[in-house]
Structure 1
Amino acid sequence: MARIWPRTNCKFDRSDRGRCQTGDCGGVLQCKAWGQPPNTLAEYALNQFGNKDFFDISLVDGFNVPMEFSPTSNGCTRAIRCTADINGQCPNELKTPGGCHNPCTVFKTNQYCCNSGSCGPTNLSKFFKDRCRDAYSYPKDDTTSTFTCPGGTNYRVVFCP
């Protein structure tokens, strides 16, 4: 599984050290670990079961910018998008400069993080799902949020489409 995410309001010095308001990677320009929430994620796993690619947009780490994730070859045409004004409509308890946290990041409870392996949607995860129907809104949101194409498909990720 791999991830692509946007970073916002970044400032780096000549030695490539610095910070980003959202999606920061431990203060370095070239990420060596996952970005710090909140960040809108494009996730993918290529050539998996049945020679299929699996792809999704995830808001499990929150939201910082709108995104489109689309196949561009192989006859696969199902693009997924999350272009709602989530930052502008973000519930007060999830607001943070430059983004909107997912409830797991804020509350760190099993109800929101699904640590025990069983959980369902919550009122706060529904806030995300109501605005971005194709995107993961909580960790067990697989049935409505994972998409497939034949292995070998090319893809495009667009920030702020």
Structure 2
Amino acid sequence: MARIWGRTNCNFDANGQGRCETGDCTGGLNCQGWGTPPNTLAEYTLTGQNNLDTIDISLVDGFNIPLDFSPTTNACRGIRCSADINGQCPSELKAPGGCNNPCTVFKTNEYCCTNGQGSCGPTTFSKFFKDRCSVVRVEIGFLVN
């Protein structure tokens, strides 16, 4: 699986050192890991289960920018998350340039669902994201030709 995310309000020097307001990669222009939340994720898997390619948009790391993740042909449909999540973000989750996921903010099992602990059921916050972007964690598969 691969993850792609947008970074916002970045400033880098000639050596590629600097910071981004959202999606920062530990101060580097070239990411060596995952971006710092909040960041909207586009994810894809090539030749995954049953030899299917899958794509999804995930808000598991919060939200910073709208995404449209679409193929360049009409072989399958694309997905989009274009709601004004930053403008409607609950005050507890607001972050500069984005809207954090509740796990980042509260760090409890109720919101993080780590190792099968906690209720891991829907919460007010998960419903907030799901109501605005129904593509959250929905995968769309298509056969590889």
Q: Partners of 2:123 and 2:35 in 1: how far apart?
A: 24
Q: Aligned residues: percent identity?
A: 66
Aligned to 2:43: 43
Aligned to 2:100: 101
The 3-state SS of whatever aligns with 2:32 is: coil
Larger RCO: Structure 1 or Structure 2 (Cα < 8 Å, ≥ 6 residues apart)? 1
Aligned to 2:19: 19
Q: Partners of 1:51 and 1:17 in 2: how far apart?
A: 39
Aligned to 2:80: 81
Q: Determine which structure has the larger strand proportion and give its number.
A: 1
Check whether the contact 1:47–1:53 (CA below 8 A) recurs between aligned residues. Answer: yes
After TM superposition, the runs of 4+ consecutive aligned structure 1 residues lying more than 2 A away are: 71-74
* 2:136 matches 1:147: no
| Residues paired across the two proteins, number | 143
Give how far 1:116 is off: 3.1
Deviation readout 1:115-155 (Å, 9 max, x if unpaired): 1326121110100000001113xxxxxxxx12111126xxx
* 2:109 matches 1:116: no
Give how far 1:49 is off: 1.6
Q: Partners of 1:14 and 1:72 in 2: how far apart?
A: 34
Deviation readout 1:36-78 (Å, 9 max, x if unpaired): 00000001110112110111100010000000111233722x2
The 3-state SS of whatever aligns with 2:47 is: coil
Deviation readout 1:69-126 (Å, 9 max, x if unpaired): 11233722x2111000000000000001100001011011111111132612111010
1:117-136 matches, within 5 Å, as: 117=116, 119-136=120-137
Give the TM-score normalised by the residue count of structure 2: 0.94
Check whether the contact 1:22–1:38 (CA below 8 A) recurs between aligned residues. Answer: yes
Give the TM-score normalised by the residue count of structure 1: 0.85
One-letter code of the match for 1:73?
T
Name structure 1 gaps, 5 residues minimum.
137-144, 153-161
